[in-house]
């Protein structure tokens, strides 16, 4: 258990990263930051059409300390379970693989079929990362956890600081896990609202091209600079969208990422986008 999933990412790097790692691009920035702190040489594997380039990752993983994978990926929101299973099967067991499943519980329908947790019994180099932050809305309390075989767990624990998760966070986590109905309702709302948002943007607007997603956020391709779009929406409507130009591999400033929230909040976002559409 960690002080959010981020602590576990950095503990994973401190434990297993020494020389070389492989990270898809774009993806969650903390894998890169944690690896840089360890002085590692980072081999980026660019996405192809926003999906994992399986061959490139497998090739670059040779003699690497670790591979970082995110499923569904952030910021694309796309699942890559089949590709990840292929990568796991073709990478040497000496290379540790962190699979970030922090958003998997918010994926449409039966998300269990997309998870890789069952593979830890078959592959002893896997560490699966989960978070209560996303699934149960505990962002400020910071509760994340990892699942792996006992040997890797002992190695990770050796780098964990004492008392890393406060008492309130532990109590909240235990209570949250008893309310699985919340997740079912959340998935239904996300699926319905994401479809409405995507269709509205696609039908009504010229400057914004929405991309498909499997989870509670999605990318929008822009016809102008993403920083200017972010700032315009914030100044005009008081809504902050995620400028994706800070993601490695998205430096051209052509994308923003938006979240799927309540119906009322989603309508406000659509209105904000319409107000600057050209």
Residue pair 236/276 in contact (Cβ under 8 Å)? The answer is: yes
Q: How confident is the model at residue 180 (pLDDT cuts 50, 70, 90)?
A: confident
Q: How confident is the model at residue 238 (pLDDT cuts 50, 70, 90)?
A: very high
154 contact partners, CB below 8 Å, separation of at least 6: none
pLDDT in tens, 21-36: 999 999 999 999 999 9
pLDDT in tens, 206-225: 999 999 999 999 999 999 99
Residue pair 31/73 in contact (Cβ under 8 Å)? The answer is: no
Whether residue 136 has pLDDT greater than 90: no
Say if domain 181-276 classifies as CATH 3.90.1150.10: yes
Whether residue 109 has pLDDT greater than 80: no
- For the chain, which residues make up each domain, given as ranges? 4-176, 181-276
Whether residue 111 has pLDDT greater than 80: no
What average pLDDT does the segment 174-185 reach? 89
Residue pair 188/254 in contact (Cβ under 8 Å)? The answer is: no
pLDDT of residue 210: 98
Q: How many CB atoms lie within 10 A of CB 159?
A: 13
Q: How confident is the model at residue 110 (pLDDT cuts 50, 70, 90)?
A: low
Residue ranges of alpha helices (H) inside the chain are 4-16, 30-37, 54-60, 81-90, 132-136, 150-157, 167-176, 180-204, 226-237, 263-276
How far apart, in whole angstroms, are the C-alpha atoms of residue 269 and residue 29? 25
- Whole-model pTM above 0.85? yes
pLDDT of residue 137: 83
pLDDT of residue 135: 85
Question: For all residues of the chain together, what is the average pLDDT?
Answer: 95
pLDDT of residue 240: 97
Q: How many CB atoms lie within 10 A of CB 31?
A: 27
pLDDT of residue 123: 96
pLDDT of residue 103: 94
Q: Output the furthest CA–CA distance in the chain (Å, rounded).
A: 57
Q: How confident is the model at residue 118 (pLDDT cuts 50, 70, 90)?
A: confident
Whether residue 50 has pLDDT greater than 90: yes
C-alpha distances out from residue 52 to 48, 72, 111, 193, 202, Å: 6, 11, 19, 26, 25
pLDDT of residue 179: 86
Fold category of 4-176 in CATH:
3.40.640
């Amino acid at each position: 258990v960690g002080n959010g999933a981020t602590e576990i990412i950095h503990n994973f790097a401190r434990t297993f990263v020494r020389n070389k790692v492989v990270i898809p691009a774009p993806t969650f920035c903390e894998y890169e930051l944690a690896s840089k702190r360890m002085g590692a040489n980072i081999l980026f594997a660019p996405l192809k059409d926003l999906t994992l380039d399986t061959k490139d990752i497998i090739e670059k993983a040779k003699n690497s300390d670790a591979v970082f994978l995110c499923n569904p990926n952030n910021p694309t929101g796309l699942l890559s379970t089949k590709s990840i299973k292929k990568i796991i099967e073709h990478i040497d067991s000496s290379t540790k693989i962190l699979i970030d499943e922090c958003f998997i519980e918010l994926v449409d329908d039966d998300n269990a079929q997309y998870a890789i947790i069952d593979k830890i019994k078959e592959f002893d180099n896997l560490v699966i990362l989960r978070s209560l932050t996303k699934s149960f809305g505990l962002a400020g309390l910071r509760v994340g956890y990892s699942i792996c075989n006992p040997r890797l767990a002992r190695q990770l624990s050796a780098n964990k600081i004492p008392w890393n998760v406060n008492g309130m966070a532990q109590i909240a986590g235990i209570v949250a896990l008893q309310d699985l109905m919340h997740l079912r309702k959340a998935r239904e709302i996300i699926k319905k609202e994401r479809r409405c948002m995507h269709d509205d943007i696609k039908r009504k607007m010229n400057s914004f091209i929405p991309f498909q997603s499997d989870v509670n956020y999605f990318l929008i391709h822009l016809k102008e600079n993403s920083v200017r779009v972010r700032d315009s929406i914030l100044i005009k409507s008081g809504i902050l969208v995620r400028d994706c130009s800070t993601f490695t591999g998205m430096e051209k400033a052509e994308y923003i990422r938006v979240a799927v929230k309540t119906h009322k909040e989603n309508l406000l976002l659509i209105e904000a986008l319409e107000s600057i559409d050209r």
